[in-house]
Amino acid sequence: MSDSIVLKGVPPSEQIIDTVASESNGKVLLAFSCGKDSIASWIALKRRGVKVIPYYYYIHPDLEFINKSLDYYEEFFGERIYRVPAPGVYRMWRNLVFQPPERIGVVMGTRIPKFNHDDLARAVKITAQVPASTWVGLGIRAADSVNRRTSFVRTGAAVKNKLKFYPVWDWKKQRLRVELYREKVKLPPDYWIFGRTFDGLDYRFVGPLKKH
């Protein structure tokens, strides 16, 4: 049984990486969540000789377990990981999440604009001093769900007009496990605390945070 998914008209991930790297001067951004798929993406890109510029979206800027994970992956891969406020941070600020009543006027007076993922990726490119034409890699796999598989069938694994691509789009879970084991890379504590990577301030996350 193959360890990779095959979709008609969608090149294998290795070919996608090589094509994108040639159009991006051998450098790409990587949206790095500390999750298994983004770790695998970094491994796949590094193996093909691509220079990775990783950035992490934080919900809170200074959580100890997140800082330790980021420090570990910086040392493991030998690259700096840029820390960027997640789009949700701006949304929660504007919507007064966890804000006391006396702070409403201050928050509303800031008039913070809406930043999306594309805005923040452009900011990372400016900070990292790479061209605006640099592609951005995302750790998303077709095997994760029917919706994701359908998306790859419809748009492919490299979206030229958005400069986005998916370095491990065709990896099945078994290949993912083998590659992580082969590289001897650790998963973050998020998985045993939350069962997934830290991604919000609802009870799924703040409950286990309090417990642990």
For the chain, the domains span 13-211
Per-residue pLDDT, 111 = 86
Cα–Cα distance between 115 and 109 in angstroms, integer?
Answer: 17
Q: How far is CA 132 from CA 121, 127, 136, 162, 201, in A?
A: 9, 11, 10, 11, 32
Task: Output DSSP code: residue 110.
Answer: H
Per-residue pLDDT, 186 = 97
2 confidence band (pLDDT: 50, 70, 90): confident
Percent of the chain whose predicted confidence (pLDDT) is above 70? 100
Q: Which tens digits make up the pLDDT trace of 91-127?
A: 999 999 989 999 999 999 988 888 999 999 999 999 9
Q: Which tens digits make up the pLDDT trace of 3-60?
A: 889 999 999 999 999 999 999 999 999 999 999 999 999 999 999 999 999 999 999 8
Helix (H, G, I), strand (E, B) or coil at 6: coil
Per-residue pLDDT, 3 = 85
Candidates 3.40.50.12280, 3.40.50.620, 2.30.30.90, 3.40.720.10; CATH matching 13-211: 3.40.50.620
Phi, psi of 122 (to 5 degrees): -65, -40
User: Do 15 and 169 form a contact (C-beta atoms < 8 A)?
Assistant: no
In the numeric block, which tokens belong to residue 70?
């980021």
In the numeric block, which tokens belong to residue 104?
């409403």
Measured at the CA of 116, the angle between CA 72 and CA 13, to 5 degrees, comes to 60
Give helix then strand counts, H and E, for the chain: 10, 6
Q: What is the mean pLDDT of residues 155-179?
A: 96
